[in-house]
Chains A and B, each alone.
Chain A
Amino acid sequence: MKIAIASGKGGTGKTTLATNLAVLCSSGSRDKPTVLSDLDVEEPNSGLFLKGETLHQQKIMKEIPGWIRDKCTFCNRCKEVCNFNAIAVLPDSVLVFPELCHSCYACVGLCPEDALVMKDHPIGELSHYKVNQLDFIEGKLNIGEQQAVPLISKTIDYTKENFPDNSIFLYDSPPGTSCPMIESVKEADYVILVAEPTPFGLHDLNLSVKTMHKVGKAFGVVINRHGLGNDDIEQFCRKERVRILGRIPNMPEIAEKYSRGELIIEIPEIRREMLNILTKTEEITGRWICRENHKTS
């Protein structure tokens, strides 16, 4: 079961929801791993709330063309075929801009002199931590790198290769509705969109709802900081027939805990609401997610 936690707008509470749900899901579940992957690789912050032991760390590479001066005839072919303007052919050198390269191989494959060959270029780092029963995977993009998608994709690959298919996978997605967000939700069985009841929150929820329809994903909405602003979001969800999975209240205690890097499920009322969110998600998807929910039933 793969659940992506996403939002159109940044700062609406994706990480808060993802980390708290992940800890709830993992507690008591020894037979079925719970894995949280922080795919917001440009600014991963789930790690601020989850302190654990490091199990594994590795550099993540992408392939970029390397130029072989002796073979080059400066024919300009590589520059012409590059769809991303990542190559400049100058009178006595060829420059490759790794940040713009999409590793498509066009220049390497079409160079008549074999003067370009693919080589590894580091783009970021992947870390795997164990936080009690929870496996927490974090992708972190190197400063200056412009493309998040290759790192997101490789972080997901690592997750899939290292855990059985029946695990509970939670993805903390990057904000927005562009390529990084699409990459992080594309394999999810279900998407939880987090929205806040503000004009920006509504505007960006609208964009993410449209995106979900376009990519054909089942999804529901969690309203964070509920009680703030007006009920436009509730009306929007009713009109668009979007299921509201839960409402996290706008409470000073939450802000206090957050600012100290603590989990908000320590507040009993929030823990209940988080469990409700998981129950509703289980009902909709027909899949078992959280043992905690089945303890008393």
Chain B
Amino acid sequence: MKKTIAVIGAGGAMGSALSKSLAASGHHILLMDKDSEKCHKTYDSILSELPNADIEILNCIHEGSWEADVIIPAVAYEVQREIADYIKDVVTGKIVISLINPMNEDKSKLLTSPLSSAAEELQNYLPYSKVVKAFNTISPSDFKNISNADCFIAGDDEIAVATVSSLAKDSGMMPQLAGNLSASRTLEGMILILIQSCRKNNISESGCFKILIPKT
């Protein structure tokens, strides 16, 4: 069934790309961003490409998360906790997708301890929600350009992982199950490799991963 998906930070590069991708698969998308101008830009950009998209702008992330089946905080790592505290009472039992990569300013290392990850921290802040790591190893610029990109998905709740897998598949990606939520430690580190590789080749941040399986 059609899902209501709240994207918090829909004005940012990742929020905007993911909103468009999910809207294209027919879901009802609630766009939210504290920068209203950016949020409207995302809204206009989606509608210009997909005139029938079921999207709308909401001003309150608490209200939006209450209404949603799936919540995606596409925000900076630094404000993850603040957002989680704010929506905590309305996301019990719901899927919260973690796509944050907790990098330092020059994007050379992760800010989380090697024994944790942004996704696991989010799960601690929202103990009664189903946090699933996904979409974090694909550059926002490549969401619409690369079809069949691998989308690594990690989570502890089987049904939630299956739901997010089907969202990824609907968006033209290839879901790859990466394991429990603790696999997020690996997934969040993968983006560093991608960024490093782009820098070496003097290209802007882009790209994604693809597992190649030998033919038998």
Q: Do A and B come from one complex?
A: no
Which residues of chain A have a CB within 8 Å of any CB of chain B?
none
Which residues of chain B have a CB within 8 Å of any CB of chain A?
none
